[in-house]
Structure 1
Amino acid sequence: MKIGDYLRQGKFSVSFEFFPPKTPEGEEELFQTIKSLQQLNPTFVSVTYGAGGSTRDRTRRVVERIHKETNLTVMAHLTCIAHTKEDLYDILKGYAQIGIENILALRGDLPANMPDFKPPEGACKHSSELVRFIRENFGNTFSIGVASYPEGHPESPNMEWEIRYFKQKVEAGADFSITQMFFDNSYFYRFLELCQRAHINIPIIPGIMPITNFRQIQKFASMCGAEIPQSLVERLEPYADNPEETLKIGVEFAIEQCLDLLDNRVQGLHFYTLNKSKATLLVYEGIKGALKT
């Protein structure tokens, strides 16, 4: 199933994101998580791709296992900054050959351990270039998703710049977008208004990360430029070393956030699971009565 086709029909989507584990044991734990979440009948699941293409083989293996061993629609993340166009073509051809129909096209983070890193000669240096490359070489073989940033990408000087570059991805052939995680819905609603003014009309699915580890989420938020509301920080800080209470508060907040988004008729919810099922299952239980059928 192509995700873009599904969303164009106006259907509501629930989806989950995973990352490729580093060890065989971690991979088996991931597939237990997938088994737990599969009962929720998600529209699709996605598998991330490490900075600089560092998880290329592991991403491919996990994507292929999900595709072959489950009935789930799986979307493979693909970053371009560290690959030649020949690399990209081979990766995409391999996915097409095993029946993968959905790609999340990303520039990708620069490798943290390579301060002098430079993209290969002739590489796609922006995600819009990757989207165009996929369309030019594979036509409509893939439904192409892209990332969007309601609070702006960390490298964007302002939201005008952000919208301009997001529109370039859409014009290159993107079918839909999934946002970076955010915790203040007002940023998302403002982003949708800016997209509407810019005549960007692809489906934009909000990305939700239930908080289960306060210090970890502070680090993530700092890296991607997501603001954690002060009221939530004040609720979480006293329990930074109490995993059970942190989970409780994080799930409660995510439920409130999702219900507000549902009240405002979003087309889907994409959960960043961190390869765990408990928090996502609890949030789903709290919102399932409000989900569209």
Structure 2
Amino acid sequence: MPGLSFEFFAPRSHAGSIRLMCAQQILSRFVPRFVSVTRSASIGQQAHIDTIASTLSVFPRTAPHVLFCQCPRALARELRAYELLGIRHLVLLRGDNGIAPGSLGAPELVSLVRRSYGEAFYIDVAAYPDGHPMSSTIFEDVRALARKVRCGANSAITQCFYNPDAYYRLQDELQRLGVSLPVTPGIMPVLSHDYMARFILPSGVDVPAWILKRLEALRYCRASVLEFGTDVALSLCESLAARGASDFHLYTMNDHRAVWRVCEHVLGSADACHRSGT
């Protein structure tokens, strides 16, 4: 049976906090392997840590996102806070606003965590099937991922993608470089045409034209967009599973609706998952 994990993000308002708590409570019935909590550079360190602490009350296996675009001293304070909370799983990311002066790159920060904490933390890093927008080629991204592995990363989670061939190509390139690494596909159900246009496309994700055209046609019918987005995510999961993918990381956007439907299809009913603890 496939294993699922979820990603949430730290809210920016009281209403956002309520939405996050509702999504977490509802999706907890699927008993995910772990959940991650992403952090934008616009969210302060303490607000992010507070969100991690509240998430731990629902999901004991919570993995904070630790951004690379911060100074080593701030990173040390953050890691110490997670250690005190009992966190044992980290997702190390470059950050979404470039690299700040004096900050470290991805491989160096993986090395820093390993030197400071040994094997105390399980480390996930990012992988980019369609390429990082700041990279000149996709192969440059694969080599960067290989460096993170050599520095001590345990596994990787991909940025969302909608063309399964991109994931297969990433796996093939890793194999060609002799890198053995579990790479969990990141799946984001399509929730709106506007979000796709404002955030997904500018991030360098290759979205097939047929998805964009269908979203354009449905953009003023939210229920139809939700159904379509769920179908796209399910089709992608089925295609990846047929080629051997055993785990999926679902980007929830703090909205349980589409993710719930995907989980019901992939794992079965929430009640059955809750009773079995799987």
TM tier relative to shorter chain: over 0.9
Structure 2: segments with no counterpart, 5+ residues: none
Deviations along 1:21-72, one digit per CA (max 9) or x if unpaired, are 0123321221111010000010001101112x633222111111121x2243
Aligned 8 A contact 1:106 1:130 in 2: no
State the partner residue of 2:17.
27
Aligned partner letter, 2:219: A
Aligned 8 A contact 2:127 2:157 in 1: yes
Name the CA distance, whole Å, in 2 between partners of 1:242 and 1:90. 46
Name the CA distance, whole Å, in 1 between partners of 2:101 and 2:120. 26
Secondary structure of the corresponding residue to residue 154 of structure 1: coil
Aligned partner letter, 1:26: G
- Residue 276, structure 1, aligned to residue 255, structure 2: yes
What is the aligned counterpart of 1:168 among 119, 141, 147?
147
Name the CA distance, whole Å, in 1 between partners of 2:10 and 2:44. 7
- Counterparts of residues 1-293 of structure 1 (less than 5 Å): 12-51=2-41, 54-67=43-56, 69-81=57-69, 83-110=70-97, 119-121=100-102, 123-124=103-104, 126-288=105-267
Name the CA distance, whole Å, in 2 between partners of 1:104 and 1:71. 16
Secondary structure of the corresponding residue to residue 39 of structure 1: helix
The alignment covers a number of residue pairs equal to: 270
Name the CA distance, whole Å, in 2 between partners of 1:72 and 1:236. 37
Name the CA distance, whole Å, in 2 between partners of 1:13 and 1:101. 19
Structure 1: segments with no counterpart, 5+ residues: 1-10, 112-117
Deviations along 1:164-207, one digit per CA (max 9) or x if unpaired, are 11111111100010000000101111111011111121110000
Aligned partner letter, 1:143: Y
Deviations along 1:145-167, one digit per CA (max 9) or x if unpaired, are 10000011111111221111111
Secondary structure of the corresponding residue to residue 110 of structure 1: coil
Aligned 8 A contact 1:181 1:207 in 2: yes
Aligned 8 A contact 1:204 1:267 in 2: no
Aligned partner letter, 1:104: V
Aligned partner letter, 1:153: H
Secondary structure of the corresponding residue to residue 43 of structure 1: coil
Pick closer, same or farther for the CA change 1:201–1:97 going to 2, 3 Å.
same
Quote the sequence identity (%): 30
Name the CA distance, whole Å, in 2 between partners of 1:71 and 1:14. 13
Secondary structure of the corresponding residue to residue 212 of structure 1: coil
Q: Name segments (4+ residues, structure 1) moved above 4 Å.
A: none
Name the CA distance, whole Å, in 2 between partners of 1:13 and 1:62. 24
Name the CA distance, whole Å, in 2 between partners of 1:135 and 1:50. 24
Name the CA distance, whole Å, in 2 between partners of 1:110 and 1:235. 31
Name the CA distance, whole Å, in 1 between partners of 2:165 and 2:159. 14
Name the CA distance, whole Å, in 1 between partners of 2:163 and 2:224. 21
Aligned 8 A contact 1:18 1:46 in 2: yes
Aligned 8 A contact 1:129 1:172 in 2: yes
Kindly indicate whether structure 1 or structure 2 has the higher relative contact order, using CA contacts under 8 Å at least 6 residues apart. 2
Name the CA distance, whole Å, in 1 between partners of 2:97 and 2:119. 29
Secondary structure of the corresponding residue to residue 207 of structure 1: strand
Name the CA distance, whole Å, in 1 between partners of 2:265 and 2:121. 34
Query: What is the root-mean-square deviation of aligned Cα atoms in Å?
Result: 1.8
Name the CA distance, whole Å, in 1 between partners of 2:59 and 2:231. 30
Aligned partner letter, 1:196: Q
Name the CA distance, whole Å, in 2 between partners of 1:134 and 1:17. 22
